A and B are shown apart, each in its own frame.
Chain A
Amino acid sequence: MDLISQIISLTFLAQVLRLFTPYFLGANAANFSERSGVVNIAIEGFMIISAMGYALFTIFSGSAVVGFFSAILVGILFSLLFSLFVIKLKINQIVAGVGFNLLMAGLVKFLIIFLFQSSSNTPRFDSLPNIYFLENIPFIGKVLSDYIILFSFALIFISNFVLFKTKFGLRLRSVGENPEAGESLGIKVRLYKLYGVIICGFLASLGGIWLASNQNSFSDGMIAGRGYIAIAAMIIGKWKPVNIFVACIMFAFFEALEISLQISGTFIPSQIVQMLPYLITILVLIGFIGKTKPPAADGIPY
């Protein structure tokens, strides 16, 4: 009973939305890249480096807004670097992605130790500003007043619109499906792949920034595999924004449930409770979602 009343509370909803945000940003990031035919498993790395970027620039400038824009810039710069490897130099995309993730994890650890003489986290810093008049709504005010959370909701429509209703989206997708066909009609294949990866970098860094801003401190390992879960959500969502939204909400819901279960205390061993989100997702996957099909030229260098 206790658990059920907890689940249908607004606090629980707020918790779900908070967990949902980085997943959804990451999954859309991955989707823009894959729709252009670039498999990007470096979402995790992009999130790590931009979270770190936000921490550093906020601490050193004293302004969260400066921190925000600088971190976005960092994310985009690294996505350009990634493009250099996979689009220009045509390095295997998985190898480049793994390399990026390892590099970012090492780089931030080094920076924390080097700059702050701490083994695992930075000093505290400010959160991003909120929409102040919404902040005081009980329970969900904190969620409703958060620009990035609101943006990620808008992103369902933005992604859908951009991918399926605009010239840009049509061309981006053509490049991920059949670049030869696109090229025969005069579409600049590599340029569109570059666009895909840059949008990916931008969205992933929003996710990283949001996590850092919420925690008011950057700690080693704080992204905790969210970049990978985001990719899983994209696959479960069959590369379609609305389905991806459902997948992310599902992940977030079961993760919130897991947290509630742990707090309320149960006889079930905690390891099993922690497995819940993934276990249930896999079951749902088997039960409801048919065969998934990535863009036809996904992962093939051009």
Chain B
Amino acid sequence: MNIIEFKNITKKFGNLTANDNVTFSIKKNSVHCIVGENGAGKSTLMKILFGVYRQDEGIITIKGKEADFSSPLDAIDCRIGMLHQHFMLIEDFTVLENVILGSEITRNIKLDFDKSEKILNEYIEKYNLDLSLDKKISELSISEQQKVEILKLLYRNSDIIIFDEPTAVLSPIEVIEFFKIIYQFKIEGKTIILITHKLNEVKEISEYVSVLRRGKLVYETDAENLDIKILSKEIVGDVDVKNDSGNYEYEGEPGVLAELKNINLKKNKLNVLNNFDIKLKKGEIYGICGVEGNGQNEVIDILYGLNKNFTGDLNIHTKKISLVPDDRIKKGMIKEFSVGENIIIKKKNLKSVNSKSILKAANDVIIKYDVRLPEVNAPMESLSGGNQQKVIIAREVELDNDLLIFSHPTRGVDIAASSFIHSMILEQKKKGKAILLVSSDLDEILKLSDRFGVINKGCIVAEFEKNQFNLQDETEKTILLESIGKLMIGITGEQKN
């Protein structure tokens, strides 16, 4: 039975068509994935379903009745819940306050905190959410914040749940936990709509898949007939995804560019780095993989000179270091500034800044790196995530520094842009740069690194050389992945090799 039907939905923003005559349906109690590149119109379509936007043409029926929502409130009344791509949480509020906001339980005129707490703690226990209600959001990790969002949906009794790219911010282990919650929702009879970029996740969890490309619905399939190759082709369309079969090996003089030895660092009296050791060499990509918050950011801060309160030996033979930070919006750019301004702000030996030089800086990057943007002077925040990231990487790469640090370079970036970014990184390696790649995406680490280390509790617990992880045999590969997964969460007592 179809619980939701989209019929000829069209939505325009000015002269941009975000959704173009989209027709498809969603079965009751199914897990339905919607995939597509950044800007394909997935979020827009879901926001229409949730009453945030109103379609220009077409109708949506829910449980057989035409839905005519004028605000998310109507959708919430219909027991639809949405977990937005950007969390809708109030940093300074507690978990409890965030969850009850808008659907408060009161006694007389007072908020009934006790009763709400009781209800919420039941959900927390049932779904293993592991949250404490009186913590403020600002004290929580990203995955905990996501759990707060899930708690919000549960509290509102949603039985149709839309997840907009929920896994983009999660580490592999957190994704497994998240999927467990989805399976439980399914058992309870809820209908789940899941937007994602990651095709292995689609393969694992979906029962039905719909592909959007440039606003149009271009492909639909069910789990039995799902073929990842066809799917990825449908997602990107005619543009061929560049494959990194090219030769990116560095052929110049080898040499160590930076060495961290026995680095220890305390933060609020806790050890965040414990005898941390790595060596970064010219023409080599060193990967650090691990669950977020195990000291990755601290290592980067030390290398980049932002933190000097550590003990141990730090030998860096260069002052020319570039950083592509993990949070591109907060740390990588000034979002109100244009592309050109964001590039020129880091240029050294600049004689004068004027509209001409800014325009030139922008155009150079836009052409060379194929950045798509509404217009040259548009603020960075109006670009899609993938294009923002291209601009930031282009800026750092063009500085021609010796040591490059990439932190989660393709997080929340679509397939085409990801593979473009990967080849940008590899090209830098070929030029002889020393590269540190920090990522929680294991596929990315395996694909790009020459060597990588697994970080757990501020320490590299194991290191792998290319010949150890560049395996052809599928079973060997599975065994390797499993052991890396265990190392990441610190389960095994294996020694460093």
Contact = CB atoms under 8 A, between A and B. Distances in A.
State yes or no: do A and B come from one complex: yes
A165 B110 contact: yes
Contacts of A171: 101-102
Contacts of A295: 92
Interface stretch (B68-76, B165-173, B409-417): B68-76
Contacts of B100: 170
A109 to B, nearest CB: 41
Given A180-B88, A181-B88, A187 B102 contact: yes
Interface string B75-103: 01000001010001111110001101111
Contacts of A178: 88-91
A101 interface: no
Contacts of A185: 72, 76, 88, 101-103, 152
A166 interface: yes
Contacts, number: 63
Contacts of A174: 90, 93, 101
A295 B91 CA distance: 10
Interface residues of B, number: 25
A296 B91 contact: yes
Interface in A120-153: none
A199 to B, nearest CB: 16
A186 B110 contact: no
A177 B109 contact: no
Contact of B110 (A166, A183, A293): A166
B315 interface: no
B104 interface: yes
Given A186-B72, A186-B73, A167 B92 contact: no
B355 interface: no
Nearest to A177: B90
A181 B89 contact: yes
Interface string A163-206: 00111001101100110111111110000000000000000000
A35 to B, nearest CB: 11
Contacts of B92: 177, 293, 295-296
A174 B104 CA distance: 13
B146 to A, nearest CB: 14
A170 B88 contact: no
B111 interface: yes
Contacts of B72: 183-186
Interface of A: 165-167, 170-171, 173-174, 177-178, 180-187, 293, 295-296
6 closest A-B pairs by CB: A185-B102, A186-B73, A181-B88, A167-B104, A184-B88, A177-B90
12 contacts: A166-B109, A166-B111, A167-B104, A174-B90, A174-B101, A181-B98, A181-B101, A182-B90, A185-B102, A185-B152, A293-B92, A295-B92
